[in-house]
Structure 1
Amino acid sequence: MRKGDTILFETPPAIAEFAAVGGKRESEGPLAARFDLLFEENTLGQETWEQSESQLQRHCLDLALQKANLAAAQLDLILAGDLENQCTASAYTLREVDVPFAGLYGACSTMAEALGLAACLAAAGFVGHAAAMTSSHFCAAERQFRTPLVYGGKRAPTAQWTATAAGCCILAGKGQGPFVKSVTFGRVRDYEIKDINNMGAAMAPAAAETILRHCADTKRTPGDFDAVFTGDLGIVGTRLLKEILEKEGLKLDNHQDCGLLLYDIDTQDVQAGGSGAGCSASVLCAHVLPALRAGKLKKVLFLSTGALMSQITFLQGESIPGVAHLVELASEKEGQA
């Protein structure tokens, strides 16, 4: 069933299993104990940062499949993406996995995009099992979007730290859950932010837009949920999101940002918080989904937010569009979304 921009599932698909993998800085953060696998060095034994990110994804996929007691061949589709040009981290990972592959790019919004699309396919019966997976790598992203690490430039206070992390969910038409109750795919919004070191401000308006549309479609408010998780808005974007929603008459008292959960901003040098496609993906799989499965959370909204610039558009002086996709998650299948 569809209401406005929101797809509501009469039979909610299940997230059968999930896994989170991280790097060195993630191993020093507050969620470290909840990751399935952490690496003490970010090369993962590879020659390039790009190869390292592919290894990060492969470990994450393998762990999720092991936990689900599935072989890769039992997947009907893998939806995956990353921050590298042309989703090469995902493509290079999956060249060794003989499964149909749909590459996605929504920048840091990719995990919610992949999860939402996989849920639609599973609910419709087009796939028996599908994987939704995203990753990011600090060194690969810095080299691509900003400056090489050896440059040694000082980071702005509004800058965010790209997570070296990956998250993977295995979707199925039925299972123990947690469950995907509804999906609201976001619209691109551009508030003329041009500062590549202020992604939070660029993405916050899109997050506010998607939350407002979901609430209008479903006749609910954020207060109807245990928590609203956004993907890596950081300190600046979180503040702006709440300001925008308050002007629309919507309070967001139960908000948590994945970019502020992954790291301890008081003790770790991450400026305004975490970011990257692997940020919300890893927090989802290491923190949110386990809490839902354990019954500590009953129902939540999960939004991944993305800044849709490229290194070329930035150099051309273009502003930075943003998008945010929302997935409603619940610990129990019963009860219509």
Structure 2
Amino acid sequence: MLIGHQSWEFRNRPVILGTATVVGPDEGEGPLGNEFDIVHADAILGQDSWEKAEKKMLEEAAKLAVENAGLTKEKIEFYVGGDLINQIISNSFAVRTMQIPYLGIFGACSTSMEGLAIASMIVDGGYAKHTMAGTCSHNSTAEKQFRYPTEYGSQKPPTAQYTVTGAGVAVIGKHGRGPVVTGATIGRVIDMGIKDPFNMGAAMAPAAVDTLQSHFRDFDRQPEYYDLIVTGDLAEVGYGIARELLKKHRVPIEQTTYKDCGLMIYDLEKQKSLVQAGGSGCGCSATVTYGHLLKRLAKGELKRILVVATGALLSPLSFQQGESIPCIAHAVAIESGE
């Protein structure tokens, strides 16, 4: 049901029955490497293009998530997902293989939580017993589309982020065992006039803060309600800006409570020369949430988490025409099912 101005409360508490994560070699070498289901040693996955490699990761994650949920793909009634490639072809081509009714979405790097929110809403409303939400990204496909092909070897500024090569999928059900999705806050488009595609963190931080404020207002909650709050992929630059904005707006979030997936997935000391300011991409919040955070919920280390995935809604065309970067953030509240 609608709560406040822009949030949904899921009173039937849809259950995350199973998840799966697939990542590339750089993500496997990060601090969360042991928590992903599949770590590929080669980012091209034996395919003849980066785009096909990205699609294969998503297919692998979807197949494994269904198995981990104890279901067959015939039991999945709807799939909700998207990615960064033009016309979200990684998801569209992967679902062509899966043959599951499909809702394609585009939220840039916020797609993971946008998809989880919609898939949960479908189940909560009684329109399906089982749904699936998935997303993916690949460093080389994103670089080729939004900046420069990897082979070009261009120099990047310290504010640049490294697109995660990874896919994350969750299966949501009406009944069962697992963490539950209790609510979501749908973000507004926020544009502060930033035009630099190498400074995504700064562009997205205000959208993350706006959604956080809206979530706390709509649900009449304080940040301490959650054991952990994570933003999607603000990385080093955006995370610092977000913390300053939260302080300015008197939102009392402690550093121990608030983390960022873009800082969690890589070791910035050991991998700094590769990842610059940290991680980004649709696969960033998806793999950290489904591969790490839900495991902490299962172990009882966390009881309530809020995941705020952030996205920069630019395109190569809008950048070439000198447009600024509109951004968005979607928040999903997940709690232990115990």
Question: After superposition, what is the alpha-carbon deviation per residue over 1:268-309, rounded to whole angstroms, capped at 9, x for unaligned?
Answer: 121000000001000011111111122110001111000000
Tell me the distance in 1 between the aligned counterparts of 2:178 and 2:189: 31
Q: What amino acid maps onto 2:270 in structure 1?
A: T
Residues 1:286 and 2:260 aligned together: no
Secondary structure of 2:97's aligned partner: coil
Question: After superposition, what is the alpha-carbon deviation per residue over 1:210-253, rounded to whole angstroms, capped at 9, x for unaligned?
Answer: 00011111111212210101101001110111111111111221
Secondary structure of 1:120's aligned partner: helix
Question: Which of residues 310, 315, 319 is equivalent to 1:314?
Answer: 319
- Stretches of structure 2 lacking an aligned partner (at least 5 in a row): none
Corresponding residue for residue 223 of structure 2: 222
Question: After superposition, what is the alpha-carbon deviation per residue over 1:83-130, rounded to whole angstroms, capped at 9, x for unaligned?
Answer: 000000111111111110111110000000000001100111111111
Corresponding residue for residue 81 of structure 1: 82
TM-score under structure 1 length normalisation: 0.97
Corresponding residue for residue 16 of structure 2: 15
Contact map agreement 1:161 1:273 (CA 8 A) in 2? yes
Contact map agreement 1:54 1:90 (CA 8 A) in 2? yes
Residues 1:39 and 2:40 aligned together: yes
Tell me the distance in 2 between the aligned counterparts of 1:274 and 1:158: 11
Corresponding residue for residue 256 of structure 1: 259
**Offset of residue 77 of structure 1:** 0.5
Secondary structure of 2:118's aligned partner: helix
Secondary structure of 2:98's aligned partner: coil
Secondary structure of 2:182's aligned partner: strand
Q: What amino acid maps onto 1:309 in structure 2?
A: L
Corresponding residue for residue 277 of structure 1: 282
Contact map agreement 1:135 1:165 (CA 8 A) in 2? yes
Corresponding residue for residue 232 of structure 2: 231
Secondary structure of 1:197's aligned partner: coil
Tell me the distance in 2 between the aligned counterparts of 1:75 and 1:332: 21
Tell me the distance in 2 between the aligned counterparts of 1:213 and 1:256: 19
Corresponding residue for residue 150 of structure 1: 151
Contact map agreement 1:242 1:251 (CA 8 A) in 2? no
Q: What amino acid maps onto 2:276 in structure 1?
A: Q
Tell me the distance in 1 between the aligned counterparts of 2:222 and 2:248: 15
Corresponding residue for residue 100 of structure 2: 99
Corresponding residue for residue 301 of structure 1: 306
Secondary structure of 1:108's aligned partner: helix
Corresponding residue for residue 120 of structure 1: 121
Q: Among all aligned residue pairs of Structure 1 and Structure 2, give the percentage whose two residues are the same amino acid.
A: 43
Matches within 5 A, 1:182-193: 182-193=183-194
Tell me the distance in 1 between the aligned counterparts of 2:9 and 2:69: 25
TM-score under structure 2 length normalisation: 0.97
Corresponding residue for residue 60 of structure 1: 61
Secondary structure of 2:16's aligned partner: strand
Question: After superposition, what is the alpha-carbon deviation per residue over 1:153-178, rounded to whole angstroms, capped at 9, x for unaligned?
Answer: 11110000000001000001121120
Aligned residues: 333
Tell me the distance in 1 between the aligned counterparts of 2:325 and 2:136: 21
Superposed CA RMSD: 0.9
Tell me the distance in 1 between the aligned counterparts of 2:204 and 2:252: 19
**Offset of residue 10 of structure 1:** 1.6
Corresponding residue for residue 172 of structure 1: 173
**Offset of residue 332 of structure 1:** 2.7
Corresponding residue for residue 247 of structure 1: 248
Tell me the distance in 1 between the aligned counterparts of 2:308 and 2:188: 13
Corresponding residue for residue 163 of structure 2: 162
